[in-house]
Amino acid sequence: MPARQGRLVRFWRRNGAGYMFLLPWLIGFFGLTLGPALASLYLSFTNYDLLRPPQWTGLDNIKYALFNDVKLRHSLSVTFQYVIFGVPMRLAVALGLAMILDRSVRGVGFYRAAFYLPSLLGASVAISVMWRQLFGAEGLINTLLFLATGWQGPSWISHPDYALWTLIALNVWQFGSPMIIFLAGLRQIPEDLYEAASMDGASGWRQFRKITLPLLAPVIFFNLVLQTIEAFKAFTQAYIISGGQGWPADSTLFYSLYLYIEAFANFRMGYASLLAWILLLIIGAFTALAFWTSKYWVYYEDESR
Amino acid sequence: MADLQLKKVVKRFGAAEVIHGIDLEIADGEFVVFVGPSGCGKSTLLRMIAGLEEISDGEILIDGEVMNNVSAAKRGLSMVFQSYALYPHMSVRKNLAFGLETMKVPKAQINELVSNAAEILQINELLDRKPGQLSGGQRQRVAIGRAIVREPRIFLFDEPLSNLDAELRMQMRVEINRLHRRLGATMIFVTHDQVEAMTLADRMVVLRKGVVEQVGSPLDLYNHPANMFVAGFIGSPRMNFLKGRVGEVDGRQATLELDVGRKVQTTFAEPPRPGQPITLGVRPEDLIAAAPDEALLSGEAQITEQLGGETYVYISLSDGSMITVEIKGQAGVKAGERLDLAIADGKFHVFGEDEAVIHHG
Ligand SMILES: Nc1ncnc2c1ncn2[C@@H]1O[C@H](COP(=O)(O)OP(=O)(O)OP(=O)(O)O)[C@@H](O)[C@H]1O
Ligand SMILES: [Mg+2]
């Protein structure tokens, strides 16, 4: 069909260059993101050990995950604890420091950089190794504790009751990126609103609750969603600190770690694919929940409600 | 409602002193306007009274009580900001109620006070809107409403009308005036618009570079300016200034010799020094047409501005300086026309070398 071909040619002439520029991204998206995602969706319904071709098993994987997999349930509970405690604590520390930095004038640049540094380093292997040293039996924390109180602490890192909390602490310590975003958000709140509020007799706390929090809500929301997603995906720290096994006693068996073990230690690629999809659904559900509730607590300036 | 005293109040920002020891007393129920050119320290002074700026030196007393270390929240004043500073996330009702809720006023009473204020300012229908949904004039009303619900001891206004168009400004000016009479409250109003100042003030405080130049009623300042700055700042169009010197002196009688124009005779309260340089100030409306042989000044009309009710004519004198003449009604003066002028009824002021007044006409 010459007419149709003509149209194609014309389309290519007009837009071809643009698509050529897009090509690297398109290859990346289809080859490295969408392709594998779809493949893993298929693999979720198979048994696949990398040696033999995948075998279709229908809903078996799903049934197992839902009804029989105790470890899955345990790893979910570990991850939820991590998210539910770690994220709000990280955000609270980030907001608190952002408010302090916002008020002070001198040396803000330096402190901003200093506080941001852990975030740059946080997810790295080196820091996780350092964290192990810090919270080990002979670690710095215990040394300081001993000097201060004369009490010999346990090895936090290898105690099932505390190990997860050392990871939560590591997470909180990386408050840098939400802090920077909070700082930018705080700078957006006009000073005269605080002045008006203090003329209205409002104390610092009331100003925080009635002015800062509501006006910062969009930023808090943004940080909350971002940090929640990140926390659900947490892997490196747990992998290093728990020796790749979720030690001690599975107390740090994060969901992503369990997924990794299933895939690359037990070579159950099919089941691991299903786990990945379940994580995606959970994150999606949390994000949806956040967006859905946001209309009750997030005020946007340009909104007429 | 309260009175206010400033004693040698100083404000420094770092090393820079911007308020240089101001003394001022404001009586209960008075409407005082701070005027002055941009950057003279009006806002700074007001914010010090409000408690939003620290007092570097001196004292501020409200009802005889030193306020220096009392926080803004505890002074019981309210302030209307130039930017309005309405809480964008709260409805108008909440904006008005915020201060009362802070004071833990019972709900029923809050509702009553809020609807009272809304009534006075005619913003009843706006109570459930957000500030973003209001026009500039409506926001202004809400800002004033927020100030009045709390029944503050003193109202502070920092150029509250400067974001409004001319018509609304006039309307709001009238309303603020009415509000003052109705509430009988002490009000301090900052503006650099002298019409606003003249029309609202019981007393005006003219500031320049952090110093009080003169305090007085609007007409007092207009008729008896203490110096060239006040004379030039108050009145529109500006007062004309003509340089000259004192000629012959005979007791309190003296002749003034202007650089441009003829001699003027006048009687001083104290005899001036012969030869002393002076500046003669005459308002545009006090210059009148005269016969050529009786004229004090003559010059060539350059520009004519017709305002309908009056006409401003800008005239260049022989030395190139410009003066302004205000003529009642619609005068058909053409550019290039020669005008001969005299001063009506000896209505002029004489200022000495230090710019302070030495004679009022
Ligand atoms: N936070 C500050 N730090 C340093 N200098 C300041 C500060 N605030 C005001 N100033 C200075 O103090 C002087 C008085 O300022 P102020 O705002 O009181 O002027 P203003 O009379 O209100 O002027 P405008 O009519 O333009 O509002 C100005 O020279 C200004 O630069
Ligand atoms: Mg100002």
Closest CA to B262 of B285, B294, B240, B300: B294
Q: Which residue has the higher pLDDT, A133 or A22?
A: A22
Residue A125 lies in a domain: yes
Each residue of B300-317: pLDDT tens digit? Answer: 999 999 999 999 999 999
Q: Which CA distances in Å does B2 have to B70, B78, B177?
A: 16, 13, 18
Each residue of A218-243: pLDDT tens digit? Answer: 999 999 999 999 899 888 877 877 77
Out of A96-105, B294-303, B327-336, least confident range:
A96-105
Residues of chain B with C-beta less than 8 angstroms from the C-beta of A199: 50, 52, 72-73, 77-79, 99
Residue A246 lies in a domain: yes
Beta strand B240-250 pairing with B310-316: unpaired
CA A122, A123, A128, A131 torsion-angle sign: positive
Give dist(CA B12, CA B17) in Å, integer.
4
**Region B61-71: what's the mean pLDDT?**
93
Q: Which residue from A minimizes the CA distance to B53?
A: A195
Residue A131 lies in a domain: yes
Whole-angstrom Cα Rg for chain B: 25
Domains of chain A: total: 1
Give dist(CA B354, CA A79) in Å, integer.
80
Task: Output the CA A64–ligand 2 centroid distance in Å.
Answer: 72
Give dist(CA B13, CA B29) in Å, integer.
32
Residue A35 lies in a domain: no
When the pLDDT of each residue in chain A is averaged and rounded to a whole number, the result is 84
Give dist(CA A116, CA B203) in Å, integer.
55
A70-103 and A108-122 helices cross at what angle (nearest 10)?
170
Helix runs in A201-268, H state only: 204-207, 213-232, 236-241, 255-260
pLDDT at B109: 93
Give dist(CA B141, CA B135) in Å, integer.
10
DSSP state of B346: G
Closest Cβ opposite residue B81 in set A192, A203, A299: A192
Q: Which CA distances in Å does B69 have to A182, B2, B57, B74?
A: 32, 18, 12, 10
Residues in chain B: 361
**Region A243-268: what's the mean pLDDT?**
81
Q: Which residue from B minimizes the CA distance to A193?
A: B85
When the pLDDT of each residue in chain B is averaged and rounded to a whole number, the result is 91
Q: Give the CA-trace dihedral at A120, A124, A130, A134, to 10 degrees.
A: 70
Chain B contact for A180 (CB, 8 A cutoff): no
Task: Output the CA B19–ligand 1 centroid distance in Å.
Answer: 10
Give dist(CA B325, CA B214) in Å, integer.
26
Residue A25 lies in a domain: no
pLDDT at A245: 75
Instruction: Tell me the shortest Cα–Cα distance from B41 to chain A, in angstroms.
Output: 18
- Does residue B37 have its Cβ closer than 6 Å to ligand 1? no
Its ipTM equals 0.85
Out of A96-110, A217-231, B29-43, least confident range:
A96-110
Each residue of A34-81: pLDDT tens digit? Answer: 999 898 888 888 888 878 888 888 888 888 878 888 888 888 998 999
Out of B20-24, B259-263, B336-340, least confident range:
B259-263
Residue A166 lies in a domain: yes
Cβ burial of B185 (10 Å; 0-12, 13-18, 19+) is buried
Closest Cβ opposite residue A193 in set B77, B85, B102: B85
pLDDT at A304: 45
Closest CA to B206 of B239, B180, B234, B228: B234
Residue A233 lies in a domain: yes
Whether pTM exceeds 0.80: yes
- Give all domains of chain B, ordered by start, each with its CATH number: 4-233 (3.40.50.300), 240-360 (2.40.50.140)
Each residue of B248-291: pLDDT tens digit? Answer: 888 888 889 988 878 888 888 888 888 899 999 999 999 998 88
Residue A12 lies in a domain: no
Beta strand B65-66 pairing with B78-80: unpaired
Give dist(CA A227, CA A175) in Å, integer.
10
Give dist(CA A277, CA A289) in Å, integer.
18
Residues of chain B with C-beta less than 8 angstroms from the C-beta of A105: none
**Region B188-209: what's the mean pLDDT?**
92
Q: Are B23 and B31 in contact (CB under 8 A)?
A: no
List Cβ neighbours of B161 (8 Å cut-off, separation of 6 or more).
B140, B168, B169, B172, B173, B191, B193, B196
CATH number of the domain residue A244 falls in:
1.10.3720.10
pLDDT at A3: 65
Is a pLDDT exceeding 50 seen at residue B231? yes
Is a pLDDT exceeding 60 seen at residue B329? yes
Q: Which residue has the higher pLDDT, B91 or A160?
A: B91
Q: Which residue has the higher pLDDT, B37 or A121?
A: B37
- Within 10 angstroms of residue B45's Cβ, the number of other Cβ atoms is 27
**Region B62-84: what's the mean pLDDT?**
92
Q: Are B169 and B138 in contact (CB under 8 A)?
A: no
Interchain contact, A192 vs B79, CB within 8 Å: no
Q: Which domain holds residue A280?
A: 68-297
Instruction: Determine which of A188, A191, A198, A199 to mutate to test the interface with B (most B C-beta atoms within 10 Å).
Output: A199
* Helix, coil or strand: residue B9: strand
Which atom of ligand 1 is closest in space to residue B207's alpha carbon? 21
Beta strand B78-80 pairing with B154-158: parallel
- Does residue B42 have its Cβ closer than 6 Å to ligand 1? yes
- Does residue B192 have its Cβ closer than 6 Å to ligand 1? yes
Q: Are A207 and A198 in contact (CB under 8 A)?
A: yes
Is a pLDDT exceeding 80 seen at residue A107? no
Residues of chain A with C-beta less than 8 angstroms from the C-beta of B77: 199
Could you tell me the pLDDT band of residue A305, with boundaries at 50, 70 and 90? Answer: very low
Instruction: Return the structure tokens found at B180.
Output: 């003052």
